[in-house]
Every structure is written in structure tokens, then in C-alpha cells.
Structure 1
Amino acid sequence: MSVLSRLTKKASSYGFDGFLLGIAIAILLAYIFPSVGAKESPIPLAEIANFCVSLIFFFYGLKLSPKKLKEGLANWKLHVLVHASTFILFPLLVILLHKIIPSFQSDVFWTGLFYLAALPSTVSSSVVMVSIARGNMPAAIFNASISSLLGVFITPIWMEFWMSEKATNDFDLSSVIIKLLIQVVVPVLLGLLLHRKYAWFAEKYNKRLKQFDQSIILLIIFTAFCESFSENVFALIGVKDLLQLLLSTVALFFLVLELTNLLSKLLGFNSEDRITLIFCGSKKSLVHGTVMSKILFPTSDQMGLILLPLMIYHTAQLIIASIIANKFAGDSTKNIAP
């Protein structure tokens, strides 16, 4: 194995993969060519992304195994805590941070942070991290999958609460949920119905499907930042605000890690369930965040600012969780606290 291959493999084990580089390149290209992805562009990138979003969730449903989901049903206490962490603890922590931390110059950052907090858990990386750390795999698959479906309903409800608190009246909850049902839930259910017959396709081309998912996410990020750069919304954002956002986002991740770890110990969870709670309860989905943003904020020209906390969090959770998972894997007693 060459030195470059070893370095690439080592970097991947700690979260530094080509996708993170792709995000940086997408933002850079949006900065250089903002007119390409803006609303006035003759290239219908937004419409292409909308169509591909439904394909992403169709293939997600195709990959879901009803059998594996049933295997994870029994451990109800773990399931309740994972989803309570994902959908209750996160938003409450951000509301608390909003009260005690001085306001950002751009209040959109707080909307972005709260949007991050209201999102469901990620599927693939949660399961991968639990697998590396030798946790409860059936429970991880169950919770990560169910979280994605719950998020279709819970995330818009939280966002309506946040927007009403900010006196924003252009958030139509019923319309948003209907759009999410059509664009997300229906494709997932269709994929589930076809799982038995065509699951082999999803397994055979799993790597290609992952690349497809990531490509669409990069396209959505590119168009979001094109719109933000074309409207010059970053002009008033200072370095101090960006640093404060970075620290707040990373602090949120570590806070949830510590709280889920403490809860698992207080409730006497075994090591496998503890690992599953820590990793599934602390993750947020970049896939759902990017695709749902197109439905939740369809007319916003500040999408780049709204998605920025999520992208920072995604990077942090990949790198930090990878390090912790590898430490768990190397510790036979599983007594390493995050």
C-alpha cells in the first residue's frame, strides 16, 4: 500500500473524506459563479435537485429492511431516549444557549442553529459509528431509520414554533407537511413496498447510490450559497460571528455527547446500548437538513447562512465521533467516556 493510500485510509477513519472536500469546493464555486445557481439562472438546478430528492428517499426506502427494523423494536427504553435526545434535548439546549449567549450580528444564525437542533438523526454514519464501536446494531438501524420518518413531522412543528417566536408569519405548517409527505414519505413507502423484490439493486449499487446522494446534497448546497452570495447576505457577517457560531455548534455537540453518556450510566445501560445512545442520540442528518430546507425555506435568499451551522456540525460529528468510535473499539471494557 502506498504512502498516499495509507494517509487517505487513516484520514477517512477520522472523518476526513472526499465529501467534506466536496462541500468546501461547492461553496467556493458558488462564491466564484453565484449566477449559475441563483433563481434567475437559465439552468434549472433547483428543479433538478427537487426531483432527485425524491429519488434519494425512494432508494432509502428500498434499502430499509423490515426484518432488521423488527429486530430493534424490543428495547423501548433505549428508543425513547434516542428520540428524546434528537427531538427534545437538542432544541431545548439551543433555546437555552439563545438565552445565555450574546446574540449574533445576524439572527439568521440562530435560525440555522435551531433548524440543526430540530432535525432527525443521520442514518448511515450513526450505524457505521455504532458498528465501529461495537454497539447494539439492530437498535441503531431501528432508531436511525425511524428518526428519519419522525423528522418529517417533528422538524416542521419545531420550526413553526421558532418562527412564531421570531414573529415570522410566512411559515405554513400544513403546506410544509403536505410537501414533505409527497416528496419524502411517499417515495420512502414506495421503496419499502418494493424492498423484497428489488433490495438486491440497492445492495449491489450501494456505493453508487451513496455517491448519488452526496452529489445531490452538494448541488443543493451549491444553489443555496449561490443565492446567498448573489444577494450579498454574507457582507455584514464578521469573523467574530463566524467564530462564535463555530464554538456554539461544536459546544452543542459535546454537550449532547456528555448528557447522553451520563443518562446511559444513570439508567444502567449495558455497554452496547450506551454506545448506541451516544452515537444515535448526538447525530444530525445533513441529507435531511439540505433536502428539507428546500421545502421549509423555499423563498429564503439566506439559505447559505441557515445551512452553515448544519455543515459545521456535520464536519464536527464525523471527525469527533470517528475518534470516539475508534477509542471504544480499542477498549474491551468500553469504559471510555466521550
Structure 2
Amino acid sequence: MARPKLLPDNFTLALVGTVIIASLLPCRGTVAVGFNWLTNFAIGLLFFLHGAKLSREAIVSGAMHWRLHLVVLLSTFAMFPLLGLALKPILTPLVTPQLYMGILFLCTLPSTVQSSIAFTSMAKGNVPAAVCSASASSLLGIFITPALVGLVVHSHGATTGSPWHTVGNITLQLLVPFIAGQALRPAIGKWIDRNRAMLKFVDQGSILLVVYVAFSEAVNEGIWHSMSLATLGGLLVVNIVLLALAIFATAFAAKRLGFSRADQITIIFCGSKKSLASGIPMAKVIFASQAVGAVVLPLMLFHQIQLMVCAVLAQRWGARRTAAEKAREPERAAAPVRR
């Protein structure tokens, strides 16, 4: 039996379970030091595999559609941070300063890759353009996100350190493994493509490990004693509003700029989503360890909301496109055959 669209997926349930375990059994002392070394290795492996999976041919084939990619990148790296800053008077009464810092961090992140492509395909959008746009967003985010964090988050009272120091850490821990994966793709690319199911386990396992360590540190610092149910409810409202504004803004811009229906779908799904897979490792590198738990909490919640909402939209738009195509079939059959 298929899982109902509005229920959380298995990975989201695993994330919730990891937070519960970290809340009840947080790692401390030498165990925490060992877990930190393990998470650093896992993050490097994660981005190495991302580099090995990314096809250069897909990027080249879709790169010519520059207007679409420009709209997606502006939505991801300009519109979202501006929304986060513009909504500050509304957001600050609803969430704590640390959670608002997490919302600003969420706004600086790149788009997702796998789910953006999957939803675009389900909704009958421009899949090759989605592959290129989402991949470019993920790659450019390695450079753009730490720079935006330095400008947006650091200027609002977050102790993230020097932006150049952050870029250096990102380069060593994320970009170098990514480039190594790209360099070795000719040798291991076919093996990577044949074993995507196993690599998905490494992908998700790395994120769960980082979440456990981050929330262990946050629990040791007393995160749940300083956060009420009303605050969590406020965070839920903030994420829903942020996603709704992003979807409406990308839909409006894509239509006004004259893109085709398929391209509009691609812009909406690639331009309104944020990457959990990139965001959690980046938070581990960018922020002090005691702040990571609160910083990634808005992202984890936004991740589930965007999956549920986009799944419903993709299913509805795909069904509408299929119905329209079936309605045109009698017209095609009745049309005279030209000789």
C-alpha cells in the first residue's frame, strides 16, 4: 500500500528518532570527541559521493537554458535571504534569537537536487533543466552559502567567525572531497550509478550522524529547557509562511517572464526548496558546536513541510497535464492525415 502523501517519509521519521535519542542519551566527553571525528569523516565522504554522482554531461546539456537557471539562482540565493531579513519584525516575536539565526541560515542554503528533479518529473516539468539547475545550485552553494552567512547571519549577532575562515573550512571539508569525487568519476562513475541504493544509505546515515552529534551538544547546553511548545509552534508557522511566499513568488515571476508551463514547474520546484543534505553538514562546519542544534532545527522542519506540500502540488499538476493530453487524443485521431 502506498504511503499517504501527507505522512512523513521514513527518513523524516529517522530524523525525529535521532533527535529523541540525542535528547535522552546525548554523547559527552571523550565519546563526543570520537563522534566529532566520525562526523567530519562522514561529511567528507558525503560530498565526495556527491561529486562522483554529478554528471558533467547533464550540466553541459542543460546549461544553455540560462534564463531559467538565473531565475532559480536568484530565488535561492537572493530572494530567500531578503525574505528572511524583511520578515524579522514578524518572526522575532514567534521564535528565539537562535532559531531566527537558523531561519536566516536556512534562507542562505542551496536548492535540493534529488527531490527537485523527482517532483519536476512527477509534475511533467522540464526535467533536463531541473537536473542542471538543481546541480548548479548545490555546487555554487559551497561558495555562496558561507559568504551569505557572513553577510546576513553574522551581521545579526551570530558568532560564526571570520567569513574567510568559514570559506576555508568549507573548502577543506566540502569542496576538496567534492572535486576529488568529480576527478575520480571517470573511474568510479559506473560503479556509483550501479550502487545508488547503497550510497543512499551512506548519504542519509551521514546526516543522521551529524544530527545526533549536533543535538547531543544542544541538549548538553540545555536547548529543551529554553524552548517552549509555543516557540516550536511559532517556528512551524514561520516555515509554512516562508515556503508559501517562495512558491507564490517563483510562480508569479516565472509566469510574468513568459516561461513555458514546463519551465514554470521547474522554476517553482527548484527555486522554492532548500537542501537538508547540504545544510546540516554546512552548519556543522560554519557554526560553533553548541549552536548547531538550534540552527538546524528550522531546516529539519522546513524539509518535511516542503516535501509534503511539493508532493501534493506535483501530483495535482501531473494529473492535470495527463488529463489535458488525454483530452487532445480524440482531436489528433480525427485530424486528417496529410499525404
User: Aligned pairs, how many?
Assistant: 324
Query: Residue deviations 1:288-312, cap 9 Å, x none?
Result: 1110011101x33132111110001
CA distance in 2, matches of 1:65, 1:328: 28
- The equivalent residue for 2:152 is 162
Q: Which amino acid aligns with 1:26?
A: T
Q: 2:301 aligns with which of 288, 293, 312?
A: 312
Which whole-Å deviations, capped at 9, do the CAs of 1:29-64 have from their partners, x for residues lacking one?
011101x2x455366111111111111111111111
Residue 175 of structure 2 corresponds to: 185
- Alignment of 1:30 with 2:25, yes or no, is no
| C-alpha spacing 1:187/1:276, structure 2 compared with 1 (3 Å) | same
User: What corresponds to 1:323 in structure 2?
Assistant: 312
Q: Using the aligned pairs only, state the percent identity.
A: 33
For residue 95 of structure 1, the aligned residue among 80, 85, 88 is 85
Q: Give the AA of the match of 1:219.
A: L
Distance 1:293 1:302 in 2: 9
Distance of aligned partners of 1:182 and 1:15 in 2 relative to their CA distance in 1, 3 Å threshold: farther
Give distance in 2, aligned partners of 1:74 and 1:334. Answer: 31
Q: Distance in 2 between matches of 1:119 and 1:334?
A: 36
Larger radius of gyration: 2
Q: Residue deviations 1:196-247, cap 9 Å, x none?
A: 2321111111011111110110111111111111111221212221111110
Q: Which amino acid aligns with 2:129?
A: A
Deviations 1:173-202 (A, max 9, x none): 111111111221122222222222321111
Do 1:120 and 1:147's aligned partners in 2 also have CA atoms closer than 8 Å? yes
Query: Equivalent residue for 1:3?
Result: none
1:236 aligned onto 2:236:
no
- TM (norm. structure 1) is 0.91
Any gaps of 5 or more consecutive residues in structure 1?
1-5
Q: Is the 8 A contact 1:271 1:334 kept in 2?
A: no
CA-atom RMSD, angstroms?
1.8
1:44 to 24, 34, 40: 34
Shift of residue 106 of structure 1?
2.1
Query: Residue type matched to 1:191 in 2?
Result: G
Deviations 1:89-108 (A, max 9, x none): 00100111103344346200
Give 1:15 shift. 6.3
Partner of residue 248, structure 1:
238
Structure whose residues are more often helix by fraction: 2
Alignment of 1:51-90 (within 5 A): 51-90=41-80
The 1-side partners of 2:32 and 2:274 are apart by: 33
Alpha-carbon distance in structure 1 between the residues aligned to 2:296 and 2:263: 31
Runs of 5+ unmatched residues, structure 2:
325-339
Structure 1 segments of 4 or more deviating over 3 A?
167-170
Which residue is equivalent to 1:129?
A: 119
Query: What is the deviation of 1:168?
Result: 4.3
Partner of 2:191: 201
What is the CA–CA distance in structure 1 between the aligned matches of 2:227 and 2:24, rounded to whole Å? 18
What is the SS of the residue equivalent to 2:64? coil
1:260 CA displacement: 0.5
